[in-house]
Structure 1
Amino acid sequence: MRYPLALLACAALLAGCANQPKDPSGVWINQAAIDAAAEGQSLREALMAYGPNLEWQIDGQRGIASYSNGFELGEGQLVLDDGKRWRVDFYGDYHEYLRLKGGELLQEGSEVWPEQRFARAEPRAGGTPPGSRFETALYAAYLGGDWLIREGQGKGGLVRFHADGRLEGLPGADRYALCLAGDCASMSGENDALWLQLGEQGREWLFRRDGDTLEILEARNRAQFDEMPDYHPGARAWLLERD
């Protein structure tokens, strides 16, 4: 009778292991938001529809999980909740629940956030700052390729937006950054915004993306000098078309 009992014990042990969720360690990005934006729609609308969180970085061995929404960073303790999902405990008795489903990381809906889905980013040697993997993937999908200057200074030239924020071919700028959330989003209202910089000097611009065309507009500030800037579309500086 010992052999059947031993087999039953092994079976129970294996069943218990099988019920444990897979290790969610890695970097997970909000691919749905990237895909929606890459189709040519408003970046702001894509982020609002599929966000607000843009990236999770999870270290199961250390029991740490952190998220980025393009403005805020949050880090909490990762603990196994009920054998099927993970709970992330943040300061102030705030929790998020994560689980793996069909190769995706699912952030369960709550009173604060809707359900959100994340795709695993390709492994990369060394650590990366929170949010940077999403940003790199977004820049490549949303603005990647060569753009021809149809109107504006440098007409006829080619512009290239690199995934790391470098910018080639646009007169007066060698770096750029897309506004994802936070103060820049508040100041630009319903408009998409980006930052253009040359050396140490830079300023905010507004833009409109429609398929393979990109308008870069002056950001006109309607606020008083002692108020938060309130940017509205001004004159068109450039019209770019994806080559």
Structure 2
Amino acid sequence: MHKLLALSLSPFLLAGCSHTPQSADISGLWINQAAIDTAAQGRPLLKVLDANGLNLEWNIDARGGKALFSNAFEAGEGQLRSKAPGVWVVDYDGHGTDELHWDGNQLIQKAKAFFAGQVFRRPAQPAPEGARWGTTFRQALNSAYMGGKWKIIEGQGVGNSVVFNADGSLSGLAQNDRYELCLGGDCATQGAGNDTLSLGKGDVADVWIFVRHGKRMEILNAINHAQPDEIPQLAPGPRQWLLEQQ
């Protein structure tokens, strides 16, 4: 009798212990961490971003079926729909699609004809609510690429320490108190593919060309070869500073 009872209960026990795994919730913010990690090695910035894909951030509302993206020159929105377990399609109202895969830790944007595949991860420190799109990626990049103390090896203030903060504030580099790296778009076009950044104080800023070699960075004057009524065309000029990351 005991044996028959055990056999009769076994299907119930199996049914009670088994469960169907819930589908992944990919809602929230994701940043292109692969691009940040590669840039942090001291590589040329625009080449790194180009090699690691176009998009810098995804902000996803899976329940609402929305996926917002941002890159260096635009932000947009698509409709999110599930394609298979762990796979989603983002549809831009008939103007193309993107495919996203979740592998348990990372969100992977599938490669397309003209764009490399991209790897996104949850940010360690999301930007405050209400910040402009792309701020979380930019601050993470600033911290990884420009973080720590730098020493002026050549140029005005030689021997001084320079600090580039994640929020874009700056100290120790002449009168400048803020900076912004060019991540693409018009600033990259005007710089003819050279890496550029803006340095400024208050509402006034100038564009400079920089060249990164590992822990050393040259900041060069940007010479504009365009006419006053033309779009700027910047070329490297004399070196203003040589910095070394400590």
The answer to whether TM tops 0.5 is: yes
Q: TM-score, normalised by structure 2?
A: 0.88
- The within-5 A match list for 1:8-157 is 14-15=19-20, 18=21, 21-122=23-124, 124=126, 127=129, 128-157=131-160
Alignment partners' CA distance in 1, 2:214 and 2:229: 38
Contact 2:86 2:103 in 1 (8 A): no
Of 101-110 and 78-87, more deviation after overlay is shown by 78-87
Query: Deviations 1:152-174 (Å, cap 9, x if unpaired)?
Result: 11122111000000000111211
Alignment partners' CA distance in 1, 2:186 and 2:118: 23
Report sequence identity in percent: 46
Query: Deviations 1:112-139 (Å, cap 9, x if unpaired)?
Result: 4322111111364853432111101100
Alignment partners' CA distance in 2, 1:126 and 1:143: 21
Q: 1:95 to 1:126 in 2, by over 3 A?
A: same
Alignment partners' CA distance in 2, 1:138 and 1:62: 29
Q: CA deviation at 1:217?
A: 0.4
Corresponding residue of 2:4: none
Q: Secondary structure at the match of 1:45?
A: helix
Q: CA deviation at 1:94?
A: 2.1
Query: Deviations 1:189-211 (Å, cap 9, x if unpaired)?
Result: 12100011111111110001111
Alignment partners' CA distance in 2, 1:239 and 1:129: 32
Match of 1:197 among 194, 197, 200: 200
Q: Secondary structure at the match of 1:184?
A: helix
Q: 1:184 to 1:123 in 2, by over 3 A?
A: closer
Query: Deviations 1:42-74 (Å, cap 9, x if unpaired)?
Result: 011111111211111112232221111121111
- The within-5 A match list for 1:174-189 is 174-189=177-192
The amino acid of 2:236's aligned partner reads P
Q: TM-score, normalised by structure 1?
A: 0.89
Q: Secondary structure at the match of 1:52?
A: coil
Ranges in structure 1 where 5+ consecutive residues have no aligned partner: none
Higher gyration radius (CA)? 2
